Structure 1
């Protein structure tokens, strides 16, 4: 349903089975942190824009039983995985599946009471245009919830120049593709520019150390490091690094998940009301 002219960047992390597992690990590990405070009344018409493989969809439905959810994504393959995931986890949920670009949603103005999107705007070359398109299908008085990360917030110990450079390669490659791996810090101005006068942004911080083994495993080891490692081929093809240098950086980054290591990352969660 999309073409090469669609205003969507290539998904920098790829569509492999490994990436699908990483997204599931990420969603499960961070469910309480990211979804806390987000619950919609039964019968609410909710749009999840950019549902991907359904990793966040499962937690969205768990927190809001009885909603009428429309889950949309530009990737037919991801949408099929999402449908299978939700059929297995929440077979009685009311979910309509839509394959298409969020910039051209085929729904009338004001079709939804709430819009939810997580880790989507960072992949759009014009996130303001994406927000404007979503605002059109949101009823007056309805809410939009947006969650984004910011790779610039990654702090880890021990840190080496090689490890830091691997993270910077991810940011660079995403920017070259038209996205923004540092978008979290821009949520408030983006939403206000899109016409949402009531915007509240709150940081959601992950901190993992030896006293938090579940976060060390679920986030540092199984979410963040694999996300960076996945751009190895693209980083080499772009001439940003050498194989030896990149692999050394990943090895150093993994030390944050070993005894004595620590890792910090900040997500940003915005809630805005459509006037």
Structure 2
């Protein structure tokens, strides 16, 4: 896994802001029955985990992450929920939970950072009971549009996309979810777009999305991009121009995708 954004304090702040701003969109219909055993791979510092626990009383949540430091932060964030969850340090692709079976799995913003998402999905299917479900939420950087748009602002956004691809990952993976899940053997796959559109009619959402999610995310790859030859002055101009979408008649939109699939019962496809 190549987490392009790193684990700096600024990135931790951005992820906290992102979870809070996007929660009404990403968790609006996400419900699991009480008593369900739910696996959350790539839980990070527990921002999505908290929403899962608050919105789904009575579930038993297993939080899995490859980074021990992130799990320590998750323990702090989720203090008081100990009876409802546990933490596992490990890599999804290396059998950290061999032999365990879950009713549901929830994966948010993980596949885009994996070089082999197909293998991760196959592994997840093997960890679900028959009839269990997998919910995926991923973004599609190719869907992001904003105005005003300049050559500089588009260039820094494209640089983020290029850096992620250079790591062997797919920043446009949201558009591939149905095919990936079907290839992994899931049945009854459904995919729904989650549109974030913000303009002067919702200035709080616009400010949050552009200034607290998008711009810090882009600026997080500045050093990598400049080291690779991106002009530093053009970078400064690009970030400044991106911020202009959060004023006046500025606007932006971005598509996330939610995919849900089922592990078929014995003898059935999937």
What does 1:69-88 correspond to in 2, within 5 Å?
Answer: 69-87=61-79
TM-score, scaled to structure 2: 0.95
Change (3 A) 1:138 1:42: same
Q: What residue is the counterpart of 2:139 in the other structure?
A: 149
What does 1:243-254 correspond to in 2, within 5 Å?
Answer: 243-254=232-243
* Residues 49-79 of structure 1: per-residue CA shift (max 9 Å, x gap): 1001111111111111111000000111111
Measure, in 2, the Cα distance between the counterparts of 1:49 and 1:107: 11
Q: Are the equivalent residues in 2 in contact too, given 1:110–1:140 (CA < 8 A)? A: no
1:162 aligns to what SS in structure 2?
Answer: helix
Measure, in 2, the Cα distance between the counterparts of 1:149 and 1:196: 20
Measure, in 2, the Cα distance between the counterparts of 1:269 and 1:249: 30
Q: What residue is the counterpart of 2:246 in the other structure?
A: 257
Query: Does residue 36 of structure 2 align to residue 36 of structure 1?
Result: no
CA-based RMSD of the aligned residues comes to 1.2
* Residues 69-98 of structure 1: per-residue CA shift (max 9 Å, x gap): 0000011111111111111xx535511100
What does 1:192-271 correspond to in 2, within 5 Å?
Answer: 192-239=182-229, 241-271=230-260
Q: Are the equivalent residues in 2 in contact too, given 1:109–1:138 (CA < 8 A)? A: no
TM-score, scaled to structure 1: 0.93
Deviation at 1:105, TM superposition (A): 3.0
* Residues 151-197 of structure 1: per-residue CA shift (max 9 Å, x gap): 11111010011111111111111111111111111111111111112
Equivalent pairs counted in the alignment come to: 264
Q: Are the equivalent residues in 2 in contact too, given 1:150–1:267 (CA < 8 A)? A: yes
* Residues 178-236 of structure 1: per-residue CA shift (max 9 Å, x gap): 11111111111111111112210000000111111221122111011110111100001
Q: What residue is the counterpart of 1:22 in the other structure?
A: 14
* Residues 225-251 of structure 1: per-residue CA shift (max 9 Å, x gap): 110111100001112x11001111111
Segments of 5+ residues of structure 1 without an aligned counterpart are 1-7
Query: Does residue 68 of structure 2 align to residue 68 of structure 1?
Result: no
Segments of 5+ residues of structure 2 without an aligned counterpart are 265-270
Measure, in 1, the Cα distance between the counterparts of 2:130 and 2:118: 19
Deviation at 1:106, TM superposition (A): 3.0
Measure, in 1, the Cα distance between the counterparts of 2:205 and 2:179: 31
1:173 aligns to what SS in structure 2?
Answer: helix
Segments of 4+ in structure 1 off by > 4 A? none
Measure, in 2, the Cα distance between the counterparts of 1:184 and 1:219: 18
2:88 to 86, 98, 103: 98
Deviation at 1:27, TM superposition (A): 0.8
